[in-house]
Amino acid sequence: MTNHLLSIEELGADGIREVLQLSHTFVEVSARAIPRVPALRGKTLAWLFYEDSTRTRLSFETAAKRLSADTMNFSVGSSSVNKGESLRDTVETISAMGVDCIVVRHGSSGVPWRIREWTDASVINAGDGWHQHPTQALLDCFTIEQRLGPLDGRHVAIVGDIKHSRVARSNVEAFTALGADVTLVGPRTLLPPSLDGWPCKVSHDLDAVVPSADVVYLLRMQNERMNEALVPSMREYSMGYGMTMERVGALADHALVMHPGPMNRGVEIAPEVADLDRAVMVDQVRNGVAVRMAVLYLLLGSGVELPVEGV
């Protein structure tokens, strides 16, 4: 792994496997009575979240604490960003205080690559616009392999608002890098205008795809990224593309239902489906901490011994 985690493409299949392999160690650490190891003692991380987040930010914070790193609690909403400070000045300011890693979420695609030019710190992309969300893809790969074994040869259906989804872009790259077949499912209006370069199939008929899926991965309708109505109504969308109990009945026994959160129960997923054992959203969140610990350790922990059991 290099000094940064910006996209799944840059990480590559070997990098993905390296993170997943190491994540098992941190699942074990997280299950201890005192889930903390000294691996990143003396390292400082800063959060730069220009977009809302619950899971991703709390997950990174928990991961950093469990590795004994220090964190700089920068909140965009109460910072000089509100006084017009530029992104570059903000990055240079926090870098000057001595920070080893900047975790950034921003509404514009490509921002983490700009930040990399302005700082010596490692940069982690926690979501840039519609573009990438690599740690989400890694925790999703880990969760699938934990439940079903290797992704190689598995069929994953990604359903819903693909067009606006950085999760879809990262996950397609990660799932296919590990050998899975991916089908994107949604109405034409919610698919990207061109699917050139997307290594996957496309379907507009969820019922045709469900029986052969090992994983149905649902996405939220990202209304905040739409400037026009792309579906006639939420009710019609749910009828065509929502995961209902009826559709669960057509799934293979072992098949999983996944969602990156936040879920809109009753839109892309029926409330009772979200509570089934095969709906692994809680595993996704739990594994997210271990996977982010692995990422932070690989980026910042070189030379530090691995926190094996009992340390």
Please identify which of the residues 4, 43, 66, 105 carries the catalytic annotation: 105
Q: How many residues bind ligand NCD (CB under 6 A)?
A: 11
**Binding status of residue 107 toward ligand NCD by CB under 6 A:** no
Q: What is the bridge-based pairing of β-strands 201-203 and 181-185?
A: parallel
Q: Which of 246, 256, 260, 249 is nearest to 277 (CA)?
A: 256
Match 């616009």 to its residue by tokens. 129
**Binding status of residue 134 toward ligand NCD by CB under 6 A:** no
55 is catalytic: yes
- Looking at the Cβ atoms of 186 and 301, the one nearer to ligand NCD is 186
**Binding status of residue 127 toward ligand NCD by CB under 6 A:** yes
Instruction: State in angstroms the smallest separation of the CB of 260 from ligand NCD.
Output: 4
**Binding status of residue 132 toward ligand NCD by CB under 6 A:** no
- Looking at the Cβ atoms of 127 and 242, the one nearer to ligand NCD is 127
Which H/E stretch holds residue 9? helix 8-30
Q: At what angle do helices 134-148 and 8-30 cross, to 10 degrees?
A: 60
Please identify which of the residues 133, 154, 163, 164 carries the catalytic annotation: 133
- 261, 274, 283, 298: residue in contact with ligand NCD (rule CB under 6 A): 261
Mask: binding to ligand NCD, 24-53, rule CB under 6 A, as x and -? ------------------------------
b/e 46-71 (16+ beta carbons within 10 angstroms → b)? bbbbbbebebbbebbbbbbbbbebeb
Rounded CA gap, 301 and 214, in Å? 35
**Binding status of residue 55 toward ligand NCD by CB under 6 A:** yes
- 132, 136, 143, 238: residue in contact with ligand NCD (rule CB under 6 A): 136
Long-range pairs of 303-307 with CB within 8 A, sequence gap ≥ 24:
304/39, 304/40, 305/39, 306/25, 306/39, 307/25, 307/29, 307/37, 307/38, 307/39
83 is catalytic: yes
Residues 70, 284, 297, CA angle at the centre, nearest 5°?
35
**Binding status of residue 159 toward ligand NCD by CB under 6 A:** no
176 is catalytic: no
192 alpha carbon, distance to own chain's centre: 19
**Binding status of residue 57 toward ligand NCD by CB under 6 A:** no
- 186, 260, 301, 307: residue in contact with ligand NCD (rule CB under 6 A): 260
Instruction: State in angstroms the smallest separation of the CB of 285 from ligand NCD.
Output: 9
Instruction: State in angstroms the smallest separation of the CB of 76 from ligand NCD.
Output: 15
Question: Which structure tokens are listed for 77?
Answer: 């909403």
**Phi, psi dihedrals of residue 9, rounded to the nearest 5°:** -60, -45
**Binding status of residue 220 toward ligand NCD by CB under 6 A:** yes
**Binding status of residue 133 toward ligand NCD by CB under 6 A:** yes
Q: What is the bridge-based pairing of β-strands 215-218 and 201-203?
A: unpaired
First to last CA, the chain: 25
Please identify which of the residues 17, 32, 55, 201 carries the catalytic annotation: 55
**Binding status of residue 164 toward ligand NCD by CB under 6 A:** no
Instruction: Name the residues annotated as catalytic.
Output: 55-56, 83, 105, 133
Residues that bind ligand NCD (CB under 6 A): 55-56, 127, 133, 136, 166-167, 220, 222, 260-261
